[in-house]
């Protein structure tokens, strides 16, 4: 049930952010400091999400090096080769699955 | 131009397959995974919610991360509002498909009519394909067995990296990404799951406030 609240609450919140952008006078959100921070937030969050996904131990509160790091390396190579999103994601998954199989 | 929009939409629609698979692997039900694509409809936020839950974070931490990532859509709205010039119900409808791709395909057009065509064609096509592909991905992901054996836990990191990659365009952005990664890694050892990502948002605020 808590999960449904999170799904719907965050979903509606994201819609409100969109409609706010289309409706609020430009001078409020157009503040240069706000604009600069808003530009940096996705980069900081995505970078943190990569780190946590790849390094955090499944049991929590520790860092661990396992098949996921190797899978991320494969993702980097695929991105450098300009592979499409789907190839990067599933190529990386296949690498992790293969390492765990061996 | 409509063909360009459709091309972008088809490419984005395929991300939906990965989101569907990742969503059910992270512990969301099929209905919850599909509800995210219908209601939230902004890829990075959806992946973030699933990612935080999948790595053991609370529902609240997941929702907050998704909302923080959604703030960029407000800025897209700011840029698109004068171009689109929508009023009344059209503005509420347009807001739902205000995402990275529709903004990119609408913002570069010279006239209001072309901006509307680019924005609406891209947004509406992606909405349909994104939801269909989410359902397909979730159905497939649910039938495949243990997500770890399939490497799906590693796929989430790859998905975030693929979303991050095209954004690393300036030294300031790359430095922010590096600092956020270090801060998040440090926070993993001292805070509950889900919190490290929120702590890293502080890096963005700090770098933004200190740089001019």
* Residue A33 placed within a domain: no
Q: What does the pLDDT look like over B118-145, one tens digit per residue?
A: 999 989 999 999 999 999 999 998 887 7
- Give the minimum alpha-carbon distance from B63 to chain A in angstroms, rounded to a whole number: 5
**Domain contains A85:** yes
A25-73 pLDDT tens trace: 767 666 888 878 878 888 999 999 999 989 988 777 889 999 999 999 9
Contact B158 A71 (CB under 8 A): yes
Q: How many angstroms separate the CA of residue A76 from the nearest CA in chain B? A: 8
Residues on chain B touching A31 (C-beta within 8 angstroms): none
Verify whether the Cβ–Cβ distance B153 to A68 is below 8 Å.
yes
B95 and B147 both lie in a single domain:
yes
Answer yes or no: is A73 within a domain. Answer: yes
Judge if B79 and B156 occupy the same domain. Answer: yes
Q: Which percentage of chain A shows pLDDT scores above 70?
A: 95
Q: Do A63 and B80 touch (CB under 8 A)?
A: no
**Number of compact structural domains in chain B:** 2
Residue A11 lies in a domain: no
B118: domain range? Answer: 2-167
Interatomic CA distance for residues B54 and B28, integer angstroms: 9
B121 and B177 share one domain? no
Same domain, yes or no: B87 and B123: yes
Check CB contact under 8 Å for A10 and B62: yes
Q: Which domain holds residue A100?
A: 65-102
- Overall number of domains in chain A: 1
pLDDT digits (tens, 9 = 90+) for B159-209: 889 989 999 999 999 999 999 999 999 999 998 888 898 899 899 989 988
- Which residues of chain A does B69 touch, with a Cβ-Cβ cutoff of 8 Å? 41-42, 45-46
A15 and B96 in contact by Cβ < 8 A?
Answer: yes
* Contact indicator for B23, B32 with CB cutoff of 8 Å: yes
Chain A residues whose CB is inside 8 A of the B78 CB are: 21-22, 24, 26, 29-30
- Does residue B72 share a domain with residue B38? yes
B2 exposed, middle or buried (CB, 10 Å; 0-12, 13-18, 19+)? exposed
Query: Does the distance separating the beta carbons of A45 and B201 come in below 8 Å?
Result: yes
Instruction: Determine the average pLDDT of the residues in B3-9.
Output: 70
3-class SS letters over B2-63: HHHHHHHHHHHHHHHHHHHHHHHHCCCCHHHHHHHHHHHCCHHHHHHHHHHHHCCCCHHHHH
Is the same domain home to B108 and B76? yes
**B124 and B201, same domain (yes or no):** no
Q: Are residues B156 and B78 in the same domain?
A: yes
User: Do the domain assignments include residue A95?
Assistant: yes
A44 occurs within a structural domain: no
Q: Which residues of A touch B161 (CB under 8 A)?
A: 46, 50, 72, 75-76, 79, 88
Taking a C-beta distance cutoff of 8 angstroms, is the pair A22, B99 a contact? no
């Amino acid at each position: 049930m808590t999960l449904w609240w999170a799904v719907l609450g965050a979903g509606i919140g994201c819609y409100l952010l969109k409609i706010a952008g289309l409706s609020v006078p430009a001078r409020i959100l157009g503040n240069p400091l706000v604009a600069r921070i808003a530009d940096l937030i996705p980069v900081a969050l995505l970078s943190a999400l990569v780190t946590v996904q790849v390094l955090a131990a499944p049991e929590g509160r520790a860092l661990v090096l396992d098949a996921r790091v190797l899978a991320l390396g494969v993702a980097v190579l695929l991105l450098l080769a300009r592979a499409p999103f789907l190839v990067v994601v599933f190529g990386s998954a296949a690498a992790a699955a293969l390492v765990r199989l061996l | 131009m409509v063909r360009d929009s459709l091309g972008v939409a088809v490419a984005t629609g395929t991300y939906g397959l990965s989101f569907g698979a990742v969503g059910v692997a992270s512990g969301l039900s099929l209905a919850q995974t599909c509800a995210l694509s219908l209601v939230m409809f902004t890829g990075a936020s959806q992946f973030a919610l699933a990612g935080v839950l999948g790595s053991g974070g609370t529902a609240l931490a997941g929702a907050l991360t998704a909302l923080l990532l959604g703030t960029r859509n407000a800025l897209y709205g700011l840029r698109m509002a004068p171009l689109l010039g929508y009023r009344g119900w059209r503005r509420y409808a347009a807001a739902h498909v205000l995402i990275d791709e529709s903004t990119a395909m609408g913002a570069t057009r010279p006239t209001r009519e072309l901006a509307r065509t680019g924005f609406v064609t891209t947004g509406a096509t992606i909405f349909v394909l994104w939801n269909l592909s989410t359902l397909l991905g979730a159905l497939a992901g649910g039938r495949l067995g243990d997500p770890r054996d399939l490497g799906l836990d590693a796929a989430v990191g790859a998905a975030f990296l693929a979303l991050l990659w095209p954004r690393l365009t300036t030294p300031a952005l790359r430095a922010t990404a590096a600092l956020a990664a270090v801060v998040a890694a440090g926070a993993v050892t001292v805070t509950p799951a889900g919190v490290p990502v929120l702590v890293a948002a502080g890096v963005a605020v700090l770098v933004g406030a200190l740089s001019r």
